[in-house]
Amino acid sequence: MGVPVLSSEVETRPSCGTRYERQAWRAGHRRVAGVDEVGRGALFGPVLAAAVILNPDDRIRGLQDSKRLSSQQRETLAAEIRRRALAWAVGSVDAAEIDRINIYQASRLAMRKAVLELDLSPDLLLVDALRLDLPIPQVSIIHGDALSVSIAAASILAKVERDALMREWDGRFPQYELARNKGYPTPAHRAKLREHGPTPLHRRSYAPVAAAAALHSLPSGGLLLPFPEGEEQRQESPADALPRRSTSPIFSDSNSR
């Protein structure tokens, strides 16, 4: 079965709907997975991706680009996606790997991980703007999260999972206000970086983080950790600072119906 001819890479309609999915279904594809990532521009933490196979007989209303939704709307829709999609999964690539292979390749890797975690094997991928190293027919859709409900569902799931991580890490690194800025380079986050230096989960290949590390004269083998008042400043390896969440959905979770 070939890849359906979709007018995806040149058309950027502002309406998020099922047009691409319906074309794929008419072409004979039955397990169409939308794939998207979140966190490419952040200074802190992993890039996350989600893959979602929606049920064509159970349409979830309100799906659109996660950036156009409020936090409460995203949470509500994420719960519906987990409950009603045929399959969903999330994959992540951490800051150290982002620094090693660059954010573009890390985004593609996170997407690939998410697809491979699906309990149902997709027969077509609708991917937001990228192509993945997978032997599965795929269509790259520019602004796909604003055009395809499957990609929109993936963007919502990835965003909700990553935001939850930022809230968790805010407790470990309160100086950086991660629950508020979600790791992105807000003026306040940049100021905190200059004041405290980067944590082990900041992306050292990003210019503001590298500048903060240089300002604090950090050696390449260690990163500055925030520390409680009165305690001695110390160095730890990135692995030591990772949260212990072996059952966390962001690293390995998948679900199918």
Q: Which domains does the chain have, with CATH numbers?
A: 19-163 (3.30.420.10), 168-241 (no CATH)
Please give the structure tokens belonging to residue 39.
């966190």
Helix (H) or strand (E) holding 92: strand 87-93
Estimate the crossing angle of helix 19-26 against helix 149-172, to 10 degrees: 120
Q: What is the pLDDT of residue 112?
A: 98
Distance CA(164)–CA(111), nearest Å, equals 19
Q: What is the pLDDT of residue 256?
A: 53
Q: What is the pLDDT of residue 228?
A: 36
Cα 217 from chain centroid (whole Å): 31
Between the CA atoms of 198, 202, 204 and 206, what dihedral angle is there, to the nearest 10 degrees?
Answer: -110
Residue carrying structure tokens 């679900």: 255
The CA-atom distances, in angstroms, between 90 and each of 6, 36, 117, 160, 209 are 26, 10, 7, 11, 26
Q: What is the pLDDT of residue 255?
A: 61
Distance CA(128)–CA(111), nearest Å, equals 10
The one-digit pLDDT tens for each residue of the chain (257 residues) are 555 555 444 344 458 999 999 999 999 999 999 999 999 999 999 999 999 999 999 999 999 999 999 999 999 999 999 999 999 999 999 999 999 999 999 999 999 999 999 999 999 999 999 999 999 999 999 999 999 999 999 999 999 999 999 999 999 999 999 999 999 999 999 999 999 999 999 999 999 999 999 998 765 444 444 433 333 333 333 333 333 222 333 333 456 55
The CA-atom distances, in angstroms, between 103 and each of 120, 134, 204 are 28, 19, 12
Q: What is the pLDDT of residue 15?
A: 84
